[in-house]
Structure 1
Amino acid sequence: MSDDEWSEAQRMLEAGIDFEHANAARMYDYFLGGAHHFEVDREVAARVVEGNPDIAAVARANRAFLGHVVRWCLAQGIDQFLDLGSGVPTVGNVHEIALDSEPTARVAYVDFEPVAVAHAEQILAGHPTVTITRADLRDPASVLCAPGVADLLDLDRPVALLMIAVLHFVADPAAREALDHYRAALAPGSVVAISHASDDHDDPEVAEQVRGAAVGYANSATPLLLRSRAELRGLVGDLELVPPGLVDVRDWPDPHPGTPGAGGYGLVARLP
């Protein structure tokens, strides 16, 4: 190991980065073809692929869902985004999409994984309306009070709360309690967007692939928690779902008949 590599390794260790256990954010980056992952992440990712050979395509479908949601929000006049569990920066980031259409858009990224935060800090340098905060989404009070969130977003105006492919790593009651807290802090007209893995599918092959992926994640620091369609709908309580409702991420906002499901559902719910 060169002196530069040793210094970088020491810096990451001091930042609290776990080299011994695979992490969902870094594995997601791997599935999307990124470069910010370690050997342990690739090893566990290989086991996930054994259970679900289509997992890379699933990750891309989920990323496409995120892009559709951001563009839809902008079309509705919502130009503030709170992206919880934003992950390692990669192609199709929220701020890239948002700023391309609305230069004054504001994006607050939040993640707890040090690699994701460190690389986001590098990428976001020079973007005055985009921030990254290292915080745990299960602690809404800390998230909402963090300078990168509180000083950037105007919570008296609508905000898009994005929880994309993250709640399936958060058990109940923490997930429900966190959502309730964030919802209470959002202004009328805000939206909550969620994507989530599930084995509740009419197609038994898709359901089995999702279960296979969950087996692979069981060996990581972030096991995959599968929720049913009813449980996912329940996460947003009585909020109105934006059409087309709770659907496979590949079918939001437009259906794709004949296309196999990605094994995950997406929804956008609007605060009255």
Structure 2
Amino acid sequence: MEQQDTERPAWAPPEVDIDTPSIARVYDFWIGGAHNFPADRELARKVAAGNPDLPATLRANRAFLRRAVRELSALGIRQFLDIGSGIPAEGNVHDVALAAHPDCKVVYVDIDPVAVAHGRALLADEPRAAVFQGDLYKSREILDAPETRRLLDFGQPVALILAAVLHFVPDSDDPLALVGQYTEGLAPGSALVISHAGAEEVPRAAPEAAEQYRGAVSRVIWRDNRELAALFGDFELLQPGVVRAPLWHPDPTDTPDPSLPMLAGAALKPAR
């Protein structure tokens, strides 16, 4: 077992328990971040032991997100609403967006109070980004939150990011209608970015990756290309459509692993 840290870093507020694992910090460890503690790393290794591909899949998801933000910034989008963001540590949406255009604004939302507490500490000196606690199912509260209204102008295009979050929404909760609660009021030219556990064809038995991740978080629903494409509604998919996350606009220096079970895509809202 790893020895417990004796010093609390500035990004870990006093009210946060650093000796009890947090799934937000476990995720941070899996993607190669530095915002985690021994208890988080111990749980991360335990969960990943049964599925070595899980950390690589989540790293591919984060890499896709960075590429999507760069692509959308190049198309002129300057506002980003990231729901289910986790800890907004270095290399996240605000870093990529602000590196492209210093006038970008980013709002992060997560249901995990630990992720939000760490995020507030990390973003304390960044007026162009904010984070607050919110529930994906309560769209009105998120869209009307003071942080959202302060930073985002919904009269202009906004990129709505739902990265690795909709696979926790079962069909019985109508994920298409849930997404629509956020997208119906977005201006033409806005974007929708989704990544999701899945494959071109989903096996009948729950994949081991889903079972392992479920033990640490909650039930994971796999969907196939057709099902994920349907969640974009009437938004127009950008090329190459819905594909495995590593294959979506890979960087020239990338060596994408097309076997990783994470689908992804981005789409634009057409003019009425």
Which of 217, 220, 229 is residue 216 of structure 2 equivalent to?
Answer: 220
Deviation of the 1:199 alpha carbon: 4.1
Q: Would you say the 8 A contact 1:51–1:215 is kept in 2?
A: no
Q: For residues 163 and 171 of structure 1, do their structure 2 counterparts lie closer, same or farther at Cα, with a shift above 3 Å needed?
A: same
Q: Give deviations 1:96-146, integer Å, cap 9, x for gaps.
A: 111112111000111111111111111111211111111111111000010
2:122 aligned partner: 123
Q: For residues 215 and 3 of structure 1, do their structure 2 counterparts lie closer, same or farther at Cα, with a shift above 3 Å needed?
A: closer
Deviation of the 1:91 alpha carbon: 3.1
- Percent identity, please: 42
* Letter of the structure 2 residue corresponding to residue 104 of structure 1: D
Q: For residues 73 and 66 of structure 1, do their structure 2 counterparts lie closer, same or farther at Cα, with a shift above 3 Å needed?
A: same
2:30 equivalent to 1:31:
yes
2:154 equivalent to 1:155:
yes
1:267 aligned partner: 265
CA–CA distance in 2 between the matches of 1:34 and 1:68?
18
Q: Give deviations 1:204-231, integer Å, cap 9, x for gaps.
A: 8xx99x8111111222342222112221
Deviation of the 1:259 alpha carbon: 3.7
2:139 aligned partner: 140
1:239 aligned partner: 235
* Letter of the structure 2 residue corresponding to residue 230 of structure 1: R
Deviation of the 1:197 alpha carbon: 0.8
Q: Give deviations 1:55-99, integer Å, cap 9, x for gaps.
A: 222222111111111111111000000011110133311111111
CA–CA distance in 1 between the matches of 2:166 and 2:121?
26
With CA pairs under 8 Å and 6+ residues apart, which has the higher RCO, 1 or 2? 1
* Greater fraction of residues in helix: 1
Q: For residues 34 and 257 of structure 1, do their structure 2 counterparts lie closer, same or farther at Cα, with a shift above 3 Å needed?
A: closer
CA–CA distance in 2 between the matches of 1:118 and 1:258?
34
Question: What does residue range 87-236 of structure 1 map to in structure 2 within 5 Å?
Answer: 87-172=86-171, 173-201=173-201, 211-236=207-232
Deviation of the 1:233 alpha carbon: 1.1
Question: What does residue range 243-262 of structure 1 map to in structure 2 within 5 Å?
Answer: 243-254=239-250, 259-262=257-260
Deviation of the 1:53 alpha carbon: 0.9
Q: For residues 151 and 45 of structure 1, do their structure 2 counterparts lie closer, same or farther at Cα, with a shift above 3 Å needed?
A: same
Calculate the TM-score normalised by the size of structure 2. 0.84
CA–CA distance in 1 between the matches of 2:35 and 2:126?
21
How well do the aligned residues superpose, as a CA RMSD in angstroms?
3.0
CA–CA distance in 1 between the matches of 2:223 and 2:179?
15
Calculate the TM-score normalised by the size of structure 1. 0.84
Q: Which runs of 5+ in 1 are unaligned?
A: none
CA–CA distance in 2 between the matches of 1:23 and 1:228?
29
Segment of structure 1 superposing worse, 118-127 or 140-149? 118-127
CA–CA distance in 2 between the matches of 1:23 and 1:230?
33
Q: How many pairs does the alignment contain?
A: 261
* Letter of the structure 1 residue corresponding to residue 162 of structure 2: M
CA–CA distance in 1 between the matches of 2:41 and 2:199?
24
Q: Would you say the 8 A contact 2:139–2:182 is kept in 1?
A: yes
CA–CA distance in 1 between the matches of 2:235 and 2:245?
19
SS in 2 for 1:162: strand
Segment of structure 1 superposing worse, 44-53 or 113-122? 44-53
Q: For residues 226 and 62 of structure 1, do their structure 2 counterparts lie closer, same or farther at Cα, with a shift above 3 Å needed?
A: same
Segment of structure 1 superposing worse, 255-264 or 119-128? 255-264
CA–CA distance in 2 between the matches of 1:247 and 1:2?
41
2:52 aligned partner: 53
SS in 1 for 2:151: coil
Q: Would you say the 8 A contact 2:24–2:115 is kept in 1?
A: yes
